Amino acid sequence: MAATMAAMQNKNRYVIVVGLGKTGLSCVRFLDQQGFRVSVVDNRLSPPGLDVLQRDFPHIEVKLGEFDEDYLRDADELIVSPGLSVNDPPFIDLLDDVQLGGDIEWFVRQAKAPIVAITGSNGKSTVTTMIGKMIEACEHTVAVGGNIGTPALDLLLNKNVPDYYVLELSSFQLETTESLRAETAVVLNVSEDHMDRYDSLMAYACAKRKAYVNARHRIVNRDDVVVRSMFEEGDSIGFTLDAPRDEDFGIRHKDDVAYIAQGNILLMPVSEFPLLGEHQLANALAALAIGYSLGLPVQPMCEALKHFNGLAHRCEHVATINGVTWINDSKGTNVGATLAAIKGLPGPMVLIAGGQSKGAELSDLSKIETGKLRGSILIGEDASLLAGYLSQVAMVQFACDMHDAVAKAEQLAQVGDQVLLSPACASFDMYKNFEHRGDCFVEAVKELQLNGN
C-alpha cells in the first residue's frame, strides 16, 4: 500500500533531467521506474546516450539545443548534470522558482545502507575500488559507483540492499548535494583542478569539503595542508606517509624495512604492496583508515591490498622494452596528479604530458627535483604553456600525436629509465577521454614491442 501511495505521489511530480550522457540516462531509468513525470533537455544537438533514450524510453519528451528557461521553470525539480554549473545561467535565474539537485542528492535520499563518500583531486577511483575490495574481503556486501563505473542511481535498481555503498564523488556532484550524511567521508587531497569552473582553489576546496558535512567518521590526509584545515585536527582518523600516531595509519621503519602501520603496530611490509609510487601507498593508507572507521578487521584488509593490482591508466605498467619501463598514468589530468606520480617513481624518466590545462596554475612543474626528468615530450593544446615551466628542469620536445610522442621518448630514454605518460591536463582536445588517450599510448608502446625496438 505504501509503495502504491508513493507511486501515485510521484506521478504528480514533474522532474526534468538536464544533460544526458551516462549520468542522465541513469536518472531517467530511476525516475521512470519510480513513476515520476520526466522529460530531458540537453543544450547539445546530439548528446551521448540519445539513441538509447529514444529506444528505451520513447514516451519521454526530449528537447535539444539552447535551454528554454520557461520550459525549465515548469518543472517541480531539475536534476542537473554534474557537467553543468548551477551557478551559471539559466540555472542561477531559476533558483527561486524550481528546486535544483543532482543524481547524488537523489541517491542519498533513497539509500538504505551506510554510505562511504570518497572525493579528492587525485586517487578517488583507486581508493574507491580498494575499499570495495576490502569490504568484500571482510565478507560484507558492497555496491561501488558514483563518479566511477556504475552511476549512483543505477545502484538503487538492484532490490538487494548491500551492507555498504561506496561512492566516488566529484566536486561537481557535491555542488548539488545537500542531504549527504556519510557513514565515513574522506577528502584525499586538494590540488588545483577544474580552474576553468572555479574562481579559486578555495572555491574548489569548499565543494570538496561538502563530503565531510554531517559525516559520522571523517578521514584526513595529515600530509595535505588544505585538507587539514577543513576541520579540527583531533576530530578524525588520519593517514600519513610519515610515522602514524594513535589510531592513524602510516609508515614505520624497523631494521631498515618499511612497514604499513597503525600507530605503533606494524601491519605488513611496504614491499608486499604491489603498486608503484608513494601516492599509491597513500591511497592504500586512506583505504585502511576508511575500513577501520567501518569496524572492518585489519588483517583481511591488508590481504586485499596484497592482491590489489591497480586500475587501468593509473600508473599502470605497460611494458619493459630494452631496459626502459613504460608507465601509463593517463588519469593524471592535473598538475598535482602528475607531480605525485613523478615523486613516487624512481628517476630518471621521460615525461609525456600535455592537453587542456583547464586554466590551472602550472608553475609547480618548474619545481620538479633536478635530475628526475631526462626530458619531456609535450603534446596537445597547451603544450607550449607546459613547456614554459618544464624547460626549467629538463629538455623539452614537441610531438604531433601520441605515436610521435612515444617514438621521441624511445629515442631519448636510456636503459633503466621510465617513460611516464602523466599529462597534467585534460584529454578532450585530442581524445574522447583519458581512457582513450591511455589506450593510444598503450597501442603505440605495444607497436614498439612488436617491432623489436
Stretch 346-350: mean pLDDT, rounded? 90
Q: 111-167 pLDDT, tens per residue?
A: 999 999 999 999 999 999 999 999 999 999 999 999 999 999 999 998 899 999 999
Stretch 213-241: mean pLDDT, rounded? 90
Residue type, position 6, single letter: A
Grade residue 9 by pLDDT with cuts at 50, 70 and 90: low
Stretch 65-90: mean pLDDT, rounded? 94
**Domain residue extents for the chain:** 14-101, 106-306, 316-450
Q: What is the pLDDT of residue 73?
A: 95
Is beta strand 418-421 parallel, antiparallel or unpaired with respect to 395-398?
unpaired
Stretch 297-324: mean pLDDT, rounded? 94
More confident residue, 344 or 400: 400
Phi, psi of 294 (to 5 degrees): -85, -5
Stretch 415-437: mean pLDDT, rounded? 96
- The DSSP secondary-structure symbol of 158 reads S
Is beta strand 265-269 parallel, antiparallel or unpaired with respect to 257-262?
antiparallel
pLDDT value at 5 more than 60: no
| CA-atom Rg of the chain in angstroms | 23
As its CATH architecture, domain 14-101 has 3-Layer(aba) Sandwich (3.40)
Stretch 224-245: mean pLDDT, rounded? 89
In the residue annotation, 147 being an active-site residue is answered as: yes
pLDDT value at 2 more than 70: no
Q: What is the pLDDT of residue 1?
A: 45
- The DSSP secondary-structure symbol of 369 reads P
CA atoms within 13 A of residue 420's CA, in its CB half-sphere: 33
Residue 199: how many other CB atoms lie within 10 Å? 9
Stretch 418-444: mean pLDDT, rounded? 96
Q: What is the pLDDT of residue 34?
A: 94
Find where cell 581524445 sits.
Answer: 431
Stretch 23-28: mean pLDDT, rounded? 97
Q: Which of 15-19, 94-98, 138-142, 183-187 has the lowest mean pLDDT?
A: 94-98
pLDDT value at 102 more than 80: yes
Grade residue 233 by pLDDT with cuts at 50, 70 and 90: low
Rounded Cα–Cα distance for residues 206 and 427 (Å):
25
Phi, psi of 172 (to 5 degrees): -65, -40
| Grid coordinates given for 154 | 543505477
Q: What is the pLDDT of residue 12?
A: 79
Grade residue 50 by pLDDT with cuts at 50, 70 and 90: very high
Stretch 206-226: mean pLDDT, rounded? 96
Stretch 197-209: mean pLDDT, rounded? 92
pLDDT value at 4 more than 60: no
Mean pLDDT of all residues in the chain? 94
Grade residue 344 by pLDDT with cuts at 50, 70 and 90: confident
Q: 235-250 pLDDT, tens per residue?
A: 789 999 999 999 999 9
More confident residue, 107 or 310: 107
Torsion of CA 271, 272, 278, 282, to 10 degrees: -140
Q: What is the pLDDT of residue 347?
A: 79
CATH number assigned to the domain with residue range 106-306, chosen from the 4 options 3.30.70.1230, 3.30.420.340, 3.30.420.10, 3.40.1190.10: 3.40.1190.10
Stretch 82-92: mean pLDDT, rounded? 91
Active-site residue identified among 147, 189, 283, 334: 147
Residue type, position 153, single letter: L
pLDDT value at 72 more than 50: yes
pLDDT value at 8 more than 80: no
Residue 66: how many other CB atoms lie within 10 Å? 10
CATH number assigned to the domain with residue range 316-450, chosen from the 4 options 3.90.190.20, 3.40.225.10, 3.40.50.1220, 1.10.10.10: 3.90.190.20
Stretch 257-286: mean pLDDT, rounded? 95
In the residue annotation, 124 being an active-site residue is answered as: yes
Rounded Cα–Cα distance for residues 201 and 360 (Å):
9
Active-site residue identified among 122, 133, 189, 194: 194
Rounded Cα–Cα distance for residues 318 and 325 (Å):
8
More confident residue, 3 or 165: 165
Longest dimension (CA), the chain: 72
pLDDT value at 453 more than 60: no
| Grid coordinates given for 176 | 548539488
Grade residue 193 by pLDDT with cuts at 50, 70 and 90: confident
Grade residue 393 by pLDDT with cuts at 50, 70 and 90: very high
Rounded Cα–Cα distance for residues 60 and 20 (Å):
13
pLDDT value at 232 more than 80: no
Active-site residue identified among 124, 313, 358, 408: 124
